[in-house]
Amino acid sequence: MKVSPFIKWSGSKRSQAKEIVSYFPKSIDVYYEPFLGSGAIIGYLKPRKAVTSDINKPLIELWRELQKNPKNISSYYRKQWNSLQKNGHTYFYKIRDKFNKEKSHMDLLFLTRTCVNGLIRYNKSGEFNNSLHHTRKGIHPDRLEKVIFEWSTVIQKYIFQDFDYKKTTQHAQKGDFVYLDPPYFNTGTRYFGAIDHQEFIEYLADLNKRGIRFALSYDGKRGEKSFVVDIPKNLYKKHILIHSGNSTFNKVQNGKVEKVYESLYLNY
């Protein structure tokens, strides 16, 4: 069963984890995930061996802290959460300014758990720029503490690196498996770590050449509108559309509810 989310992250696959994992190979020697984010897939899959990464260094430092010292994370979040309840919105922006100067992984957890809808967004200067969610207090420290220790138990033998996707998987070989969940093509630079699409296509071709199985989550459809990206058909064997929820934006704008689907490409 999946573990409750430890950190909020834009594009999390928590709601789709069960279906995505159902398409994975039954036998995996080493599981690779180079766009880790909130780790929804490893929290559901719980592979025997895993090499994970993200180019967001504070995020990876947070995962390492979770692995080695969960008590420290829990205590620090409790302190920050209590200060927010006592001092109000000014405390959130104080921590946000501090994070943008120091890039502390401990502050990142607090921000993701108290910002609007848990959306992790950065401006062009690489600064965290989402606002406080005024109508929510953030997850209670007692509840988060249980999640923190549960996750720490799961990830003890995993490797966490602050590398890009190419370097992370350079030693992958036949029998291993790579799950890819990069920033989507149509999100532009709204989220941390936008990638060059053509370089990424060449990377997929290289995985194929090396005989390495992969699954790729990427742009899909919203209602009747398609955002599917032109992935060369020789790079994959299956293209599946997975329901990921309904579009709240269009519901607010015109009262229309549209189903949202995300692509899953498999090369096996």
- Per-residue pLDDT at 194: 74
Q: Does residue 77 lie in a domain region? A: yes
Q: How far apart are CA 112 and CA 95, in angstroms?
A: 11
The answer for residues whose C-beta is within 8 angstroms of residue 74's C-beta and 6 or more apart is: 141, 144, 145, 148, 149
**Measured between alpha carbons, how far is residue 54 from residues 97, 174, 200 in Å?**
23, 23, 15
- Per-residue pLDDT at 213: 98
Q: How far apart are CA 76 and CA 108, in angstroms?
A: 11
- Those residues of the chain that have pLDDT short of 70 are 1-2, 187-193, 248-255
Total domain count, the chain: 1
- Per-residue pLDDT at 250: 52
Q: Does residue 15 lie in a domain region? A: yes
Q: Does residue 268 lie in a domain region? A: no
CATH of the domain at 141: 3.40.50.150
Q: Name the β-bridge partners of 179.
A: 215
Q: Which residue has the tokens 């829990």?
A: 74
- Per-residue pLDDT at 217: 97
For residue 256, what are its two tokens?
């229309």
- Per-residue pLDDT at 82: 98
- Per-residue pLDDT at 189: 47
- State the greatest distance between any 2 C-alpha atoms of the chain, in Å, as a whole number: 58
Q: Which residue has the tokens 């946000």?
A: 96
Q: Does residue 255 lie in a domain region? A: no
Q: Does residue 152 lie in a domain region? A: yes
Q: Does residue 221 lie in a domain region? A: no
Q: Does residue 229 lie in a domain region? A: no
Using the CB atoms, write b or e for 194-207: b if 16+ within 10 Å: eeeeeebeebbeeb
Q: Does residue 55 lie in a domain region? A: yes
Q: How far apart are CA 115 and CA 130, in angstroms?
A: 6
The answer for residues whose C-beta is within 8 angstroms of residue 219's C-beta and 6 or more apart is: 184, 185, 186, 227, 228, 229, 262, 263
- Per-residue pLDDT at 3: 82
- Per-residue pLDDT at 127: 94
Domain that holds residue 9: 1-216
Q: How far apart are CA 135 and CA 138, in angstroms?
A: 9
Rounded to two decimals, the pTM is 0.92
